[in-house]
């Protein structure tokens, strides 16, 4: 299956679980894309104790997963896109939803 995962939180445990789900899905043979929106664009800064969302995200990208990040949300935080989280648009989010068999939100 094709899973589109929308992560909108910077809560360490929720963001960590969202990317853990993405990694487990890749390992199970599914195609997976993550779109980061709202506070979710802060995910690379989430390294709170046992909830190291950044490590999970790095593992996801290294395994060939696709990460997209809302450019408007990134710019609202006076930040820039990164190699792992490139600036994307809502049109990219729409395309991910159209592509996916299932959309999961964290």
Tens digit of pLDDT per residue, the chain (106 long)? 999 999 999 999 999 999 999 999 999 999 999 999 999 999 988 888 899 999 999 999 999 999 999 999 999 998 888 888 889 999 999 999 999 999 999 9
Q: What local confidence, expressed as pLDDT, does residue 83 receive?
A: 84
State the alpha helices, DSSP H only, in the chain: 12-27, 53-62, 71-76, 90-99
Instruction: Name the strand (E) or helix (H) holding 2.
Output: strand 2-7
Q: What local confidence, expressed as pLDDT, does residue 79 receive?
A: 86
Looking only at the bridges linking them, the beta strands covering 87-88 and 66-70 are parallel
pTM (two decimals):
0.93
As a whole number of angstroms, the distance between CA 42 and CA 80 comes to: 11
Measured from the Cβ of residue 1, the count of other Cβ atoms closer than 10 Å reads: 11
Domains of the chain: 2-105 (3.40.1260.10)
Cα–chain center distance at 16? 10
């Amino acid at each position: 299956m094709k899973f589109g995962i929308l992560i909108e939180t910077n809560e360490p445990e929720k963001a960590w679980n969202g990317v853990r789900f993405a990694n487990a899905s890749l390992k199970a043979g599914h195609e997976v894309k993550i779109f980061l929106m709202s506070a979710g664009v802060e995910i690379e800064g989430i390294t709170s104790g046992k909830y190291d969302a950044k490590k999970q995200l790095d593992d996801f990208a290294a395994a060939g997963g696709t990460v997209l990040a809302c450019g408007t949300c990134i710019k609202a935080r006076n930040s820039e896109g990164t190699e792992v989280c490139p600036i994307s648009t809502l049109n990219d989010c729409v395309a991910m939803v159209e592509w996916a068999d299932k959309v999961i939100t964290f």
